[in-house]
Amino acid sequence: MKVWLDGNLVDKADAKLSVFDHGTLYGDGVFEGIRAYGGKIFQCQAHMDRLFLSAKKIRLEIPYTKQEIVDAMMQTMAANGVVNGYIRLVVTRGEGTLGLGPNRCPRGSVFAIADQIELYPREMYEKGMPVIIAKTRRTSATMLDPSIKSLNYLNNIMAKVEALDAGVGEAIMLNEHGEVGEATGDNVFIVKDEAVLTPPPSAGILLGVTRGVVLGLAGKLGLAVREQTIMPQDLYGADECFLTGTAAEIIPVTKIDNTSVGGGKVGPITLRLTKAFHEMIREK
């Protein structure tokens, strides 16, 4: 495997960051997870815009232009023979001194990995996935801007640990007000009375790229679509539930804690949106 690291394609064994890199020491950096379909980068502009916005918000200067980074991803895909796959693009604060000061890091570091990813078993996409509502709450939006896709995912990881301990694939996280936020790496949707509902930005969520695509597809299908506050009881009482994310795409949820959703079967609107999503990919 080849990894693009600061301007060069290097062997996986040689793709190394300094132990003094503040991404390693403090989780100081930003990233994007990106899909490639048919040799093309899916929603490339949206991912580039979010990466650079995240970096700007933490005052991290990316030492390459957007086009240079897109070229780097394409080179990495070609070097690894990836036509349909996943790209992990990371920008760290770069090598510095011990201590938090970002001003001690003269130049950021960028790397891109192109490989395959499978978050959940294939049968879960066909039959649905059980999830739990985590006890771990999402970091408040008053503490950290949720639009920043940073390298520090410990809050999400602790909720993921809860899911693994419960023997399920995912956990849905509530915000500090007890409202539904998002899953550990995906956005949350429910269907109620044929309306597609998802938490609003005010719930402290990351505005996922796939979330935006699905909202657009729902509108094109003539479905009622609303961003609104969702509470745990709304999850339990939903007709359907599904999660969206770049790596996950669209995955149905058929059980939340000990409550079956939609009679434990994948719902018709989830199926329609999944079909429309894959048709859009083929067309593009």
Which of 149, 255, 265, 284 is an active site residue?
149
How far lies 278's CA from each of 32, 116, 215, 266, in Å? 21, 18, 15, 17
57 is catalytic: no
pLDDT tens track for 32-73: 999 999 999 999 999 999 999 999 999 999 999 999 999 999
Domain ranges of the chain: 2-115, 122-283
Q: Which CATH number fits domain 122-283: 3.20.10.10, 3.40.50.300, 3.20.20.70, 1.10.3470.10?
A: 3.20.10.10
28's CB contacts (< 8 A; 6+ apart) are 22, 58, 60, 92, 93, 102, 151, 152
Least confident range from 234-238, 245-249, 255-259, 280-284: namely 280-284
Longest Cα–Cα distance of the chain, Å, equals 56
- Give the integer Cα–Cα distance in Å for 137 and 9: 39
**Architecture of the domain made up of 2-115:** 2-Layer Sandwich (3.30)
Global pTM value: 0.95
- Give the integer Cα–Cα distance in Å for 47 and 127: 30
Lookup: tokens for 4: 């693009």
Residue (of 23, 48, 2) closest to 152 by Cα position: 23
Q: Is residue 284 predicted with pLDDT exceeding 80?
A: no
- pLDDT for residue 72: 98
The overall average pLDDT reported for the chain is: 97
- Give the integer Cα–Cα distance in Å for 277 and 34: 16
Q: Is residue 283 predicted with pLDDT exceeding 90?
A: no
Residue 179 CB neighbours (<10 A): 18
Same topology for domains 2-115 and 122-283, yes or no? Answer: no
